[in-house]
Amino acid sequence: MAEPSARPGARTHHGIAVSDGVAHARILRIGQARRQISREPLAADAVEAEVARLNEALLGTRQDIQRVRDQVSAAMGAAEAGLFEAHLLVLEDSTLLNEVLRKIRTGRLGAEAAFHDVFEKYVSVLEAVDDAYLRERAADLRDLSGRVLDHLSGAVQERDLQHLPEPCIVVAHDLAPSITALLDRRNVLGFATEAGGKTSHTAIMARKMGIPAVVGLGPLLESIQDNEYALLDGHGGLLTINPTDQTLFEYGQLKQRRALFEEKLALLREQPAVTLDGYHVTLAANIEGPEDMAAVQASGAHGIGLFRTEFLFLNRATPPGEEEQFKAYRTVASQTRPGQEAILRTLDLGGDKMPGDLNRPGEPNPFLGWRAIRISLDCPDLLRRQFRAMLRAGCHGQVRILLPMVSGLEELRAARAILESCRKELEAEGVPFGASVPVGVMIEIPSAALIAEDLARESDFFSIGTNDLTGYTLAVDRLNERVARLYQPTHPAVVRLIHATVQAGRRHGRPVGVCGEMAGEPALVPLLLGLGVDELSVTPARIPAVKFLLRRLRISEARELADWALGCSLGAEIHRRSREVAVAAAPNLFAER
């Protein structure tokens, strides 16, 4: 596709393409790049109305914080929700508030300016202190002040995103997965963000929702208006503001060609994922909830390779109990076809997925912090409820349990001990459950890959999470667009860790799958195939394309590629060679990329 042609007012921003498709619609900005705070003096008769506006904003902010506090407390315990109690106290601090009121009443400043100035004064004092803890509190205070200012300016609130009046392209600095999950699916035709990387959960969700998305566009919000139209190219990673008619025409044609090709891909639904020389791969689907099962069935996936169960816990005041979880897992298990399996992963909260709209969990490095199995083992009741529900679902289909973020054998043993006691408990209660539900480990931390041999001895299968494995191996934040060029799943270190994992699995007769985004990247499928993985698990929307490619590859050629890659020291070279093999096998799959 040629670069969109320019016209006065037309501008094109380049980002990272994360979800295919093209959308053309009005822009809806979420959040503000920089706040415009008016310093116009207030008229004498406007003062009391301004005070009332401030009080209303404070009340709204208090309600928001209480809601988040309750969600966090229910999901993680009262101690974790303590931060929000502190926020509430600040909002009631009479010294602070009196100072703001004085600025409005005596200084005749608008509520925004008065509130901003008072808070900034305290923030700058805290920021200057030589104490890391107090400096962090400064960030909390600024966050709190941002919430109040959002209420004062009427900025779009997350809950409004569920009901949008017209089709739009959402443009934001970043979108938390919890917010993305709330988007009005009828009217959000695509989204574009200034920040983010290819494997952020928001990007993963866009692919699942089948809407075009581009991330990592860099500073953008300040230069666009809500009423402007934009064309979003999720194939090429472009966002064009005010596109010309010629550009729209060209993209219209692209859309038609894609639609025809998709129809061709859909014909493969019932065909097996087998290479030209007869090598079978299990091509399974990644899901976030039972509502995704219709898409799974339509895609022709062979079972569920990853159910990210934490999505059942987002955007709600209280976490789902055993019964509710059981129903969700049962639906997935029973709708998985006979002979196929459903891999249910225990909670992977933390990182960029926090319950409610809590984006800052108060940890400086959330991806290295309290996440996934660490939370589950620290909150055994939470884990027990989940294990019991999963075991019970084992009566309704072939279920496997997968443990995320395992870094060492101790975690695997601790989780298995809890699972065993849940089995005994269900047995004693006479509650039916799947007697032999296999337990697998996600290999997504380099330490786990390096001790894969030990983990294989005490588990039943592996699922390689290349999204995190790449991030943790290369010390690259998967969400940060500034280091996105260093995020390289074909880096020799990652390739060798995948190889080591597959070999360890083989030696112990444990199947090995890949459920990270790499598995759904057609250019990288030859490499994974050659490295010997048994299963690829991808978002349902990518199943047809991956199957199309697999059916045109030869395992012999893929193995040759992998052998060569294991001796290669350059990630870009490995990527290039794998892509060449894929393009040679299925050129039309890459025609528009």
Q: Which residues have a catalytic role annotated? A: 201, 515
Q: Which residues bind ligand PEP (CB under 6 A)?
A: 306, 308, 348, 444, 465-468, 515-516
Least distance to ligand PEP, CB of residue 198, Å? 11
Return all residues near 510 (Cβ < 8 A) that are at least 6 apart.
440, 456, 459, 460, 461, 462, 504
Q: What is the spatial distance between Cα 289 and Cα 342, in angstroms, rounded to a whole number?
A: 12
How far, in Å, are 301, 399, 402 from residue 338 at the CA level?
A: 13, 11, 20
Dig out the tokens for 399 from the structure: 């279920």
Q: Vertex 226, ends 222 and 231: CA angle to 5°? A: 90
Angle between helix 47-76 and 132-153 (nearest 10): 120
Residue 476: which of ligand PEP, Mg ion, none does it interact with, CB under 5 to 8 A by kind?
none
Residue 308: which of ligand PEP, Mg ion, none does it interact with, CB under 5 to 8 A by kind?
ligand PEP
Closest CB to ligand PEP among 376 and 466?
466
Q: What is the spatial distance between Cα 164 and Cα 158, in angstroms, rounded to a whole number?
A: 11
Closest CB to ligand PEP among 308 and 385?
308
Closest CB to Mg ion among 224 and 439?
439
Residue 515: which of ligand PEP, Mg ion, none does it interact with, CB under 5 to 8 A by kind?
ligand PEP
Sign for the CA dihedral angle at 487, 284, 274, 584 comes to negative
How far, in Å, are 178, 189, 221, 230 from residue 166 at the CA level?
A: 22, 10, 20, 14
Least distance to ligand PEP, CB of residue 141, Å? 31
Longest dimension (CA), the chain: 84
Least distance to ligand PEP, CB of residue 352, Å? 9
Closest CB to ligand PEP among 465 and 505?
465
Closest CB to ligand PEP among 232 and 449?
449
Residue 466: which of Mg ion, ligand PEP, none does it interact with, CB under 5 to 8 A by kind?
ligand PEP
Residue 516: which of Mg ion, ligand PEP, none does it interact with, CB under 5 to 8 A by kind?
ligand PEP
Least distance to Mg ion, CB of residue 538, Å? 14
Q: What is the DSSP string of 295-329?
A: HHHHHT--SEEEEEGGGGGSSSSS---HHHHHHHH
Return all residues near 516 (Cβ < 8 A) that are at least 6 apart.
199, 444, 464, 465, 466, 467, 468, 469, 470, 489
How far, in Å, are 18, 35, 135, 146 from residue 132 at the CA level?
A: 36, 27, 5, 21
Least distance to ligand PEP, CB of residue 517, Å? 7
Closest CB to Mg ion among 286 and 336?
286
Q: Which amino acid makes up residue 105?
A: R
Q: What is the DSSP string of 336-394?
A: SPTT--EEEEP---BTTB-STT----S-S-GGGSS-THHHHHHSHHHHHHHHHHHHHHT
Least distance to ligand PEP, CB of residue 538, Å? 10
**Nearest partner of 480 among 194, 237, 209, judged by Cα:** 194
Whether 533 contacts 514, CB under 8 Å: yes
Dig out the tokens for 259 from the structure: 């639609």
Residue 446: which of Mg ion, ligand PEP, none does it interact with, CB under 5 to 8 A by kind?
none
Least distance to Mg ion, CB of residue 407, Å? 12
**H or E segment at 239?**
strand 238-241
Q: What is the spatial distance between Cα 417 and Cα 72, in angstroms, rounded to a whole number?
A: 27
Closest CB to Mg ion among 224 and 536?
536
Closest CB to Mg ion among 236 and 404?
404
Q: Which residues bind Mg ion (CB under 5 A)?
A: 444, 465, 468
Closest CB to ligand PEP among 405 and 558?
405
Closest CB to ligand PEP among 189 and 515?
515
Burial 468-503 (b: 16+ CB within 10 A, else e): bbbbbbbebbbbbbeebeebbbbbbbbbebbbbbbe
Least distance to Mg ion, CB of residue 286, Å? 11
Return all residues near 286 (Cβ < 8 A) that are at least 6 apart.
204, 208, 304, 305, 306, 307, 308, 515, 537, 538, 539, 540
Least distance to Mg ion, CB of residue 441, Å? 12
Least distance to ligand PEP, CB of residue 348, Å? 5
Q: What is the spatial distance between Cα 483 and Cα 476, in angstroms, rounded to a whole number?
A: 7
